[in-house]
Structure 1
Amino acid sequence: MASNKVIVTIAPTGGMAKKSQNPNLPTQPEEIAESVRRCHDAGASVAALHVRRPDDEATCNADIYRRLNDLVRERCDIVINNSTGGGVDGDMLIERPDGLFDVNFDERMKGLDGGAEMATFDCFTVAAMHGKREMLVSTTPSQCDRLAARFREKGIKPEWEVFSPAHILQDVTRLIAAGCDKPPYYINMVLNADRGFQGAMPYTPDILQSMVRLLPKDSIFCVSAIGTAQLPATTHAILLGGHVRVGLEDNLYYSKGVMATNEMLVERQVRIIRELGFEPATAAEARDMLGLA
Structure 2
Amino acid sequence: MAKVIVTVAPTGGMASKAQNPNLPTQPEEIAASVHASWKEGAAIAALHARRPDDAATCNAGIYRRINGLIGERCDIVINNSTGGGSSGDMLVERPDGLFESSFEERLKGCDAGAEMATFDGMTFADVHGGREICVITTPSRCEALARRMQERGIKPEWEVFGPQHILQDVTRLIEKGYDKPPYYINMVLGADKGFQGAMPYSHDILAAMIRMLPPQSIFCVSGIGPAQLPATTQAILLGGHVRVGLEDNNYYARGQLATNEQLVARTVRIIAELGHEPTTPSEARDILGLPAR
Q: Same fold (TM over 0.5)?
A: yes
Is it true that 1:116 corresponds to 2:114 in the alignment? Answer: yes
Q: What are structure 2's unaligned runs of at least 5 residues?
A: none
RMSD across aligned positions (CA): 0.9
Aligned to 1:175: 173
Is it true that 1:218 corresponds to 2:220 in the alignment? Answer: no
Which letter does structure 1 place at the counterpart of 2:166?
I
Provide TM-score, normalisation by structure 2. Answer: 0.98
Residue deviations 1:117-137 (CA, integer Å, cap 9, x gap): 000001231112223222111
Aligned to 1:251: 249
Aligned length: 291
Aligned to 2:184: 186
Cα distance, 1:175 vs structure 2: 0.3
In 1, Cα distance between equivalents of 2:28 and 2:6 = 22
Which letter does structure 2 place at the counterpart of 1:178?
K
Is it true that 1:130 corresponds to 2:128 in the alignment? Answer: yes
Contact persistence 1:83–1:119 (CA under 8 A)? yes
Residue 265 of structure 1 is aligned with which of 256, 263, 266? 263
Q: In structure 2, the residue corresponding to 1:235 is in which secondary structure?
A: helix
Is it true that 1:197 corresponds to 2:207 in the alignment? Answer: no
Cα distance, 1:198 vs structure 2: 5.1
Residue 95 of structure 2 is aligned with which of 73, 94, 97? 97
Aligned to 1:80: 78
Aligned to 2:153: 155
Residue deviations 1:138-174 (CA, integer Å, cap 9, x gap): 1101101111111111000000001000110001000
Aligned to 1:71: 69
Residue 286 of structure 1 is aligned with which of 274, 284, 287? 284
Residue identity over aligned pairs, in percent, reads 73
The farther-off stretch of 155-164 and 192-201 is: 192-201
In 1, Cα distance between equivalents of 2:98 and 2:237 = 41
Contact persistence 2:122–2:196 (CA under 8 A)? no
Cα distance, 1:100 vs structure 2: 1.3
- Structure 1 residue runs of 4 or more that deviate by more than 3 Å after TM superposition: none
In 2, Cα distance between equivalents of 1:198 and 1:243 = 22
In 1, Cα distance between equivalents of 2:149 and 2:126 = 25
Which letter does structure 2 place at the counterpart of 1:53?
R
Q: In structure 1, the residue corresponding to 2:75 is in which secondary structure?
A: coil
Cα distance, 1:287 vs structure 2: 0.2
Cα distance, 1:196 vs structure 2: 5.6
Q: In structure 2, the residue corresponding to 1:109 is in which secondary structure?
A: helix
Residue deviations 1:48-73 (CA, integer Å, cap 9, x gap): 00000000000000000000000000
Aligned to 2:207: 209
Aligned to 1:233: 231
Residue deviations 1:6-38 (CA, integer Å, cap 9, x gap): 000000000000001000000000010011001
Which letter does structure 2 place at the counterpart of 1:212?
I
Q: In structure 1, the residue corresponding to 2:65 is in which secondary structure?
A: helix
Contact persistence 1:160–1:186 (CA under 8 A)? yes
C-alpha spacing 1:42/1:198, structure 2 compared with 1 (3 Å): closer
Q: In structure 1, the residue corresponding to 2:197 is in which secondary structure?
A: coil
Contact persistence 2:57–2:89 (CA under 8 A)? yes
Provide TM-score, normalisation by structure 1. Answer: 0.98
In 2, Cα distance between equivalents of 1:19 and 1:247 = 14
Residue deviations 1:208-250 (CA, integer Å, cap 9, x gap): 0000000000000000011000000000000010000000000
Residue 164 of structure 1 is aligned with which of 162, 167, 173? 162
Residue 7 of structure 2 is aligned with which of 1, 6, 9? 9
